[in-house]
C-alpha cells in the first residue's frame, strides 16, 4: 500500500514539474498601438504563434524559456520567462527599425534670371556639338570593306559577316 501511494505521489509530482504552462501577453509599438502579425517564437521548443489583430498572443512554455518577437519593420525583441511571467501577462514593446531610403538627387531650381537659368538648364555648346557629332557618326552605315575578311582570315562557310578567326 505504501509503495502504491509513493508511486502515485511521485507520478503526480512528475506531471506537475513537467507540465507546460501557457504564457499570455500583448505586443505593442512604441506609440502604444497594438501590433498584429508579430511572430512569437519559443526558442526551446521552436513553437511559433502569431499575435492576433489586437496584439495578444498565447504560447506554451515554462519558466526558463526564452521568447523571441519578430516582425518586419521592427527590431527583434527577446524575453526570458520567469515564474512571475507565467502568472502575469508579458507585455512587449517593439521599436521600429531604421529604414534606408534611396539616394536623393537635388537639382538646381529655376531662379528667374535668364543668364543663370540658361547655364544651369542647357548643356554647354561644346557638349551639345559633341553629342550631335556622335549622333551623326552612329547613324551612318559602315563601309562594307571594313567588315570584309582580310587575307589569311578564316570565314565560316555560308556567312559573309561571321566570326573571323585568324590562322597563325
- E strands present in the chain: 21-29, 39-42, 47-50, 56-61, 66-70, 77-80, 90-94, 153-155, 164-166
Most confident of 64-78, 115-129, 145-159: 64-78
DSSP-derived pairing of the beta strands 21-29 and 90-94:
parallel
Q: What is the pLDDT of residue 124?
A: 77
Contact 150, 165 (CB under 8 A): no
Q: Rounded to the nearest 10 degrees, how much is the dihedral formed by the CA atoms of 72, 78, 82, 86?
A: 0
Q: Predicted confidence band at 76 (pLDDT cuts at 50, 70, 90)?
A: very high
Q: Which has more confidence, 50 or 161?
A: 50
- 123 has pLDDT over 80: no
16-20, 51-55, 104-108: least confidently modelled range: 16-20
The pTM of this model reads 0.51
* Other CB atoms within 10 Å distance of the CB of residue 28: 17
* Location of C-alpha cell 512571475: 84
Q: Which has more confidence, 44 or 1?
A: 44
- 97 has pLDDT over 90: no
- Report the C-alpha gap between 168 and 153 in whole angstroms: 9
Q: What is the pLDDT of residue 11?
A: 59
Sign of CA dihedral 161, 163, 164, 167: negative
- Report the C-alpha gap between 10 and 59 in whole angstroms: 28
Q: What is the pLDDT of residue 125?
A: 84
Question: What is the grid cell recorded at 50?
Answer: 502569431
Interval 92-121 mean pLDDT: 78
Contact 65, 20 (CB under 8 A): no
Q: Predicted confidence band at 67 (pLDDT cuts at 50, 70, 90)?
A: very high
> For the chain, what is the mean pLDDT?
80
Give Cα 124 distance to the centre of its chain. 43
Amino acid at each position: 500500500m505504501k509503495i502504491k501511494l509513493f508511486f502515485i505521489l511521485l507520478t503526480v509530482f512528475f506531471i506537475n514539474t513537467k507540465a507546460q504552462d501557457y504564457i499570455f501577453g500583448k505586443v505593442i509599438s512604441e506609440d502604444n498601438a497594438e501590433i498584429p502579425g508579430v511572430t512569437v517564437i519559443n526558442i526551446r521548443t521552436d513553437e511559433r504563434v502569431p499575435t492576433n489583430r489586437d496584439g495578444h498572443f498565447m504560447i506554451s512554455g515554462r519558466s526558463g524559456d526564452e521568447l523571441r518577437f519578430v516582425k518586419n519593420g521592427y527590431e527583434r525583441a527577446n524575453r526570458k520567462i520567469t515564474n512571475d511571467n507565467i502568472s502575469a501577462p508579458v507585455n512587449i514593446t517593439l521599436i521600429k527599425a531604421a529604414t534606408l531610403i534611396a539616394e536623393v538627387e537635388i537639382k538646381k531650381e529655376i531662379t528667374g534670371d535668364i543668364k543663370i537659368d540658361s547655364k544651369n538648364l542647357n548643356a554647354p555648346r561644346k557638349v551639345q556639338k559633341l553629342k550631335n557629332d556622335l549622333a551623326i557618326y552612329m547613324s551612318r552605315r559602315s563601309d562594307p570593306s571594313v567588315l570584309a575578311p582580310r587575307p589569311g582570315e578564316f570565314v565560316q562557310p555560308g556567312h559573309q559577316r561571321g566570326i573571323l578567326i585568324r590562322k597563325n
